[in-house]
Structure 1
Amino acid sequence: LLRVPAQAYTTLIRGVPDLVLMLLIFYSLQTWLTSLTEALGWDYIEINPFSAGVITLGFIYGAYFTETFRGAILAVPRGQMEAATAYGLTRAQRFRLVVFPQMMRFALPGIGNNWMVILKATALVSIIGLADLVKVAQDAGKSSYQLFFFLMLAALIYLVITTVSNYVLRRMEIFYAAGTREAVR
Structure 2
Amino acid sequence: MENTLQCVFGWKSRHNEAHGRSPALGGKVLHPERAFHGRSGYTMSLTNSDPDKTARFPVFDWPSIEVPAVRFPLERHRAEVEAAERRARELAKAAFAAHPHDIACFIAEPVQGKGGDNHMRPEFLRYPHAGDNARGLGLMCAFDAPDPRSRDTVVTRVREEHKVLLLPSGERSVRVRPALTVMEEELGLALRALEFGPSTMPSAVS
Q: Which TM-score applies when normalising by structure 2?
A: 0.24
Q: Larger C-alpha radius of gyration, 1 or 2?
A: 1
Higher helix share: 1
Higher strand share: 2
